[in-house]
Amino acid sequence: MSGAGARRCVLVTGATGAVGSALVPLLADAASEVRLLVRSDNAAAAETRLEGLFRSWGWDADRSERRRVSVVHGDAAAPHFALDEAAYAALAAATTDIVHCAASVRMNLPIEEARRSAVGSAREVLELARRVATQGRLGKVECVSTVGVGGRRRAPIAETWVDPTGPFHNTYEQSKAEAEVLFRHAIEVEGLPLTVHRPSMVVGSSSDGGIIHFQIFYYICEFLSGRRTRGWYPRLTGASLDIIPVDRVAEAIAASLADPSTAGRIFHLCAGPGRELLLDDLQAGVRRLFASRGLAIPAAATLPRSIFALLMRLAAFTAPPADRRAIATLPIYLDYLAGRQVFTNHAYATWLRTRGQDLHDPKRLLAIILGRYLAVRDPGRA
């Protein structure tokens, strides 16, 4: 950002999501104004969502940070964020930095819907960044992608640009990889000060397990408990999963925003090689923890993956309505978890060390993050 001591105004997309909601409190310092681009039915509904965020952060009416956080009612994937020209011009005139967290993490969207979310929002964020840059006011642009852009490539996936043609496990990975084509052009051709963050699977905070939404990891843990499949499992031998607590992701983005040296770089925000969770171990840990909370855990039985997937597809037709959607989407996650997830993170780990930090250890997180999940889902047993 040009000008020593200039006031920073950060626009954040996806502030109501897992990463964005953990990040905003870190940005709301005395030297900043933070504007949240929030999609809702109308401006009043956007304000209501902002109040919900304040409550989730424990910010009462007297909290000073509330006065530095405001909401913009718009759509990150729509031209000019669905704002009229006057509102868009005013937003561009005020903005100095952009953090793009908006994403639809559903893995089974039709490809055009997934592209609208990922590629469309990337295009609009970059358009605003260019407009701010022409005014000489652009500080940094932080864009949240995913390690999933590596798709089905042989592990380990490196902190480099990927081929956007795949192959991929799902449309979420594909659309995110296509969005990175725009980020690469913005960095290498236009020279925009942009950093790409690729988190692995985001879970609750390392301190207390807190997270605004329980996402994919928790669905996987329910599956690994056997409660949804009456104890039947596919063979998991050799498969692994990389996870990162949401506070570590938010801290990395906030630190990168304040560090001009990270411009043009890709960081894999993940545990990294040798620290990923083996699914066999995760399954045992989940079953043990769930049982310790008094939950009924069926006896485990293993089937070949192909037979298990077929049985789950058949079960989706006969299961109670409340369970059908979860069972029907299970083959998508089985495909995603079919192999060993390993992502190199040398650049991220080296940068952490310059800040006096080290990589996290996922194995030490399970009791914290699943304890919080069970306390929220079933407080009587927590």
Give residue limits of the domains in the chain.
Answer: 8-207+241-273+343-364, 216-238+277-341+369-377
Pairing of strands 97-100, 141-144: parallel
Mean pLDDT computed over 234-259: 94
**H or E stretch covering 202:** strand 201-203
pLDDT in tens, 317-341: 777 776 666 666 777 777 777 777 7
Q: CA 380, CA 382: separation in Å to the nearest integer?
A: 6
Alpha helices in the chain (DSSP H): 18-27, 43-57, 85-94, 111-115, 121-134, 171-188, 216-225, 246-257, 279-292, 305-318, 321-336, 346-354, 366-377
Helix or strand holding residue 241 (H, E):
strand 240-241
Of the ranges 14-23, 205-214, 257-266, 326-335, which one carries the lowest mean pLDDT score? 326-335
pLDDT digits 0-9 by tens, 96-128: 999 999 998 888 899 999 999 999 999 999 999
Query: pLDDT tier at 6 (50, 70, 90 boundaries)?
Result: low
What gap in Å lies between CA 92 and CA 133, rounded to an integer?
10
Q: Tens digits of per-residue pLDDT, 59-77?
A: 999 998 999 999 999 999 9
Q: Which two tokens stand for residue 169?
A: 């496990």
Do residues 228 and 326 lie in contact, with contact meaning Cβ atoms separated by under 8 Å?
A: yes
- pLDDT of 3 > 60? The answer is no
Q: Which residue has the higher pLDDT, 236 or 259?
A: 259
Report the predicted TM-score, pTM, of the whole model to 2 decimal places.
Answer: 0.93
Question: By C-alpha distance, which of 273, 297, 232, 291 is closest to 362?
Answer: 273
Q: What is the mean pLDDT of the chain?
A: 91
pLDDT tens, residue by residue, 127-183 = 999 999 999 999 999 999 999 999 988 778 999 999 999 899 899 999 999 999 999
Please, what CATH class does the domain formed by 8-207+241-273+343-364 belong to?
Answer: alpha beta
pLDDT at 355 over 80: yes
